[in-house]
Amino acid sequence: MYSNSGYLHGADIEIEDTVHPLSVTSCGVYRLIHQPVMHTLRAEGRRDYQLLYISSGNACFCLDEERKEIPAGHMVLYRPGERQEYYYYPEASPEVYWVHFSGCEVLQILDKIGFSVTQVLFCGLSFHYPELFRQIILELQLKRPCFEKLLCLHLHHIFTEIHRSQLEISVDKYRNLEDMETAVHFFNEFYTQDISIEEYARNRHMSVSWFIRCFKQYMGMTPMQYITSIRINKAKELLKNTNYSVQEISSLSGYENPLYFSRIFHKQTGSSPSRYRRESAFSHPAGTGRPIL
């Protein structure tokens, strides 16, 4: 598991701040690679708020006494005192950013940006969210002058991006959200197969051009770009954590032609698969066995 986090007081301390408008106490990211499962249970919740962003893959949350798979592009909010239970499974390739915060104006802020009647919001896949979370993590780790003000500014920026995403989602888009979420689940499950976007749309009685246009509105990229991102992320994990050959990884990532796979990988990452593996070995040394999954 890859983990990177920062804490205001050097440890995960729950704080209920009733004085300041907004305060950030901790922030981090988890990327599950080869553990069987990561299970978090806080039966009594916490004293502060927690916001989680699924940036890739999907994660399983127990909400309203029901287990729900939440795909990439969604934010999940836990309020103080709310039971927290969620699972990360390696086969779902989850990458999840999280932040704990408190403050006397938090409730009004959350109501304004769309969390007044829901615990889960679709906000889309955007590089802005991970970058802002990483900025918060870094400020918590370095604690340079004025860092606490910057923590609040970065979190306000996240809130503003969420608010913008909700304003841009019209009533018609909400009606089609289920179709797009179904497509995301399908692509994440069957990315190793030869997926035809045209066939997928026709089988579900959708216009191909309409489906591509709506998918791009929701995910910020076309269906094929999304499938490519899933495949390349999987290939990167295999290159880092297994001793499979590039040809084997090509097949496991959904590319039967290793040369084509290498060209796509280089285009997406700026590096060949072999070079990526060598460079990753310094910080993610592979074991001596075949797969490390």
Distance CA 274, CA 281 (A): 11
197 phi/psi in degrees, rounded to 5: -60, -40
What is the arithmetic mean of pLDDT over 28-48?
89
> Cα 13 vs. chain centroid, distance in angstroms?
24
What is the arithmetic mean of pLDDT over 37-58?
94
Distances (CA, A) of 85 to 24, 54, 124, 232, 267: 22, 15, 23, 30, 39
Check residue 286 and give its pLDDT.
43
Q: Are residues 45 and 140 in the same domain?
A: yes
For residue 200, pLDDT beyond 80: yes
Check residue 213 and give its pLDDT.
86
Question: pLDDT confidence of 175, banded at 50, 70, 90?
Answer: low
Q: What are 134-142's contacts with CB under 8 Å, separation 24+?
A: 134/29, 136/6, 136/24, 136/27, 136/99, 137/4, 137/5, 137/6, 137/27, 137/28, 137/29, 138/6, 139/6, 140/5, 140/6, 140/7, 140/8, 140/24, 140/26, 140/27, 141/6
Query: What is the pTM (predicted TM-score) of this model?
Result: 0.64
Check residue 177 and give its pLDDT.
76
Give 265-293 pLDDT, tens digit per residue: 999 989 999 999 988 775 544 443 444 33
Q: What percent of the chain has pLDDT over 70?
A: 92
For residue 170, pLDDT beyond 50: yes
In a domain, 8, yes or no: yes
| Token digits of residue 220 | 């910020």
What is the arithmetic mean of pLDDT over 252-256?
94
Distance CA 236, CA 265 (A): 9
The C-alpha R_g of the chain, in whole angstroms, comes to 20
Span of 35-39, 206-210, 289-293 with lowest mean pLDDT: 289-293
Q: Are residues 28 and 159 in the same domain?
A: yes
For residue 54, pLDDT beyond 50: yes
Amino acid at 55: S
In 216-276, which ranges are E strands? Answer: none
Return the CATH number at 276.
1.10.10.60
What is the arithmetic mean of pLDDT over 258-263?
95
Q: Are residues 164 and 185 in the same domain?
A: no
In a domain, 291, yes or no: no
Q: Are residues 94 and 223 in the same domain?
A: no
Question: What average pLDDT does the chain have?
Answer: 89
Check residue 285 and give its pLDDT.
47
Distance CA 24, CA 7 (A): 9
Residues 6+ apart with CB under 8 A from 284: 240, 241
Tokens 């909700």 locate to 166
Using alpha carbons, select from 270, 231, 29 the residue that is nearest to residue 130: 29
| Token digits of residue 273 | 């698969």
Number of domains observed in the structure of the chain? 2
Q: Are residues 154 and 205 in the same domain?
A: no
Q: Are residues 263 and 149 in the same domain?
A: no
Backbone CA torsion sign across 265, 266, 272, 278: negative
Question: pLDDT confidence of 126, banded at 50, 70, 90?
Answer: confident
In a domain, 173, yes or no: no
In a domain, 261, yes or no: yes
Question: pLDDT confidence of 258, banded at 50, 70, 90?
Answer: very high
Question: pLDDT confidence of 48, banded at 50, 70, 90?
Answer: very high
Give 220-237 pLDDT, tens digit per residue: 889 999 999 999 999 999
Using alpha carbons, select from 120, 114, 113 the residue that is nearest to residue 157: 113
In a domain, 128, yes or no: yes
Give 181-191 pLDDT, tens digit per residue: 889 999 999 99
Range of the domain at 184: 180-285
